[in-house]
Amino acid sequence: MTNEIKKIPEPSWVKGSGANSDIVLTSRIRLARNLVNIPFPPKARIQDLKKAQKLIDDAFYSHPYFKAQGKAKGKSSSGGFTKISFDELPEMDKHLLAEEYLVSHAFVNEKGPRSVYFNKNASVSFMANEEDHIRMQSLLSGLELEKAWKLVNKLDDVLEEKLDFAYSETLGYLSTCPTNAGTGMRASVMLHLPAVTMLNLIPQIASKILQLGLAIRGIYGEGTEAYGHFYQISNQVSLGLKEEDIIEKIKGITTQIVEQEILSRENMLRDLSLQIKDRVWRSYGLLKSAQLITSEEALELISMVKLGVSVKILPPVPVGVLNELFLLIRPAYLQKTLGRQLEPLARDQKRAELIRKRL
């Protein structure tokens, strides 16, 4: 029997709350963990993955933490947390969860037993049998790395009460990828940087980020492009570093980039006022009138509208409304919202129609 997501999760990051949420779309803390005496996923056989899945499920259904998070409905629920098994899950639903950042795109394409678990506002979640046996995360709106760390650290403690994690006294937590050994932490922020992009300052920023041992990527992480002036910044190594040190470094560089983006917006409005106004209003006009629009084009135009609202070229629009559009235009989310699969041309038509109605 094929599983299907009946109710689309509503991620908290869409609301546009938190510090500097106009520029910092999300803050994320992710931890990688593996179970002792079971081969790590890339080397595991199906029976190994099934064993890991069962141990994780037993922890999930037995610990009171997962029952005490409020009430939610889902495919398989333990209190406020919901479990979704990827066995026989429709492809569209798999991609929907990736578009919401609840699972990675690599996870969508993996084979064998695997699941995702999340609380009712999707601010805390974890995957079973991705690159590591467990990938847990907290994803929040705005620059809220410390808060995200507190939430995911609690989840880590809860799971470690029930599970034995692979750990070395000299290396720390063991991971499939050496860069994730040690703390197993990946801290990241997603930034909306239209002004520094248009002023061609990204190469300069990227150079500084790389010198600090950090990475800059596109909207879906490693190997993806920066559509719509959105960029992810994260640490590359966790071995030999404390969690607080990683967070402090990411937060420090993010604060500097936010300040540079604000200054760049002011400079553009002073020196290129007419050109920026024209581009913003053209973007708004296209979104209001287009009959066909791809997700990539929509993202670029929404980015300019988001900039226009921020610098008061356009009338005020709540950050959450624009963030919601950022999610609604994506292929799987759009089709799930409409309740049916669509051919590419029909998707472009429905996407344009949805945007016109929202604006």
Residues ≥6 apart with Cβ < 8 Å to 40:
34, 132, 133, 175, 176
pLDDT (0 to 100) of residue 236: 86
User: Please, what is the end-to-end C-alpha distance for the chain in angstroms?
Assistant: 40
pLDDT (0 to 100) of residue 162: 96
Residue ranges and CATH numbers for the domains of the chain are: 12-263 (3.30.590.10), 272-358 (no CATH)
CB 182 within 8 A of CB 239: yes
Could you give the strand order of the β-sheet that contains 214-217, starting from the edge strand earlier in sequence?
76-78, 81-85, 115-118, 124-128, 134-141, 24-33, 185-192, 230-235, 214-217
Residues ≥6 apart with Cβ < 8 Å to 254:
24, 143, 189, 191, 233
pLDDT (0 to 100) of residue 224: 46
Residues ≥6 apart with Cβ < 8 Å to 182:
171, 172, 173, 237, 238, 239, 240, 241
pLDDT (0 to 100) of residue 70: 38
State which amino acid sits at residue 322.
Answer: L
The DSSP output letter for 315 is P
State which amino acid sits at residue 111.
Answer: K
State which amino acid sits at residue 305.
Answer: V
CB 269 within 8 A of CB 279: no
pLDDT digits over 313-347, tens only? 999 888 888 888 988 999 999 999 999 999 999 99
pLDDT (0 to 100) of residue 12: 87
- Those residues of the chain that have pLDDT short of 50 are 1, 69-74, 76-79, 221-224
User: CA 124, CA 148: separation in Å to the nearest integer?
Assistant: 8
